[in-house]
Amino acid sequence: MRQDSLVLPVVAVLAATPSTRIVRLDLTGHPFEFEAGQSALIGLANHEKRVPYSIASAPAETARHGLLDFLIKVEPSGRWGRQFDAIEPGHRLGVRGPYGSFFFPSQPQETRFLFVAGGTGIAPIRAMIQQAAMTGVSGHMKLLYSAKTADDFAYLPELREMASRSHLGLRLHVTREAPDSWHGERGRIGRPQLATLVEDPATLCFVCGPETMVDDVPRMLLELGVEKSRIRIEEW
């Protein structure tokens, strides 16, 4: 069995939505280099099981603060099960990685970027957007973010703040129930919604979310004229 790259203490478990938590690890001075959007295998240090999760913190944030964030869904039937239900500050996690080719380039040739996220798929997308903002990447960034209900949008205050500063074009979609006060989009993401966001076929696109989204959105982007080489998806 491959050994853990690091064993790190949990310093915070923060509520992101009613069903997700941000698990924050302290690197305790250890180096951990990764690209924005990559993942790691993590698990309780005293258990053998390791499962993949996208790194939610941007590399520039981690380098500055020495912290590593993961956005994890809490559900009894999920991959973590009861092990994760009880996680709290002071516990230690084994970390292996980083892994994956789904990441934001440090010097992109494109100047237009579209991010499409569904549910906890916002984690690597959030890392990419923050990294781009912190490293001064120039260009136009748009985020189409889909969740089941209006309460299921992680990082929403942060994303809205970025949108208010004109750093990000933000579009929210609720696929199931939404209150009458909801002013965002309703229903599944379709070609008409994407068409309004792809102003130029030379747009670099990133898609991360449920399997159906990862299957459907790239096909619709191709139909809108975006080249396959400019469509990046996260695949486990």
Q: Outline where DSSP puts E strands in 27-105.
A: 39-44, 51-54, 67-73, 92-99
Mean pLDDT of the 188-215 span: 93
Q: Mind listing the pLDDT tens digit for each residue in 145-201?
A: 999 998 999 999 999 999 998 779 999 988 877 666 666 677 788 899 999 999 999
Can you count the helices (H) and strands (E) in the chain? 6, 12
Q: Is the Cβ–Cβ distance between 99 and 40 less than 8 Å? A: yes
Domains of the chain as residue ranges with CATH: 6-98 (2.40.30.10), 112-233 (3.40.50.80)
Task: Please say whether the beta carbons of 146 and 119 come within 8 A.
Answer: yes
Q: pLDDT tens digits for 30-70?
A: 999 999 999 999 999 988 888 899 999 999 999 999 999 99
SS3 label, residue 54: strand
Q: Are 41 and 96 in contact (CB under 8 A)?
A: yes
* 60 Cβ contact partners less than 8 Å away, ≥ 6 residues apart: 130, 131, 134, 135
The residue count of the chain comes to 236
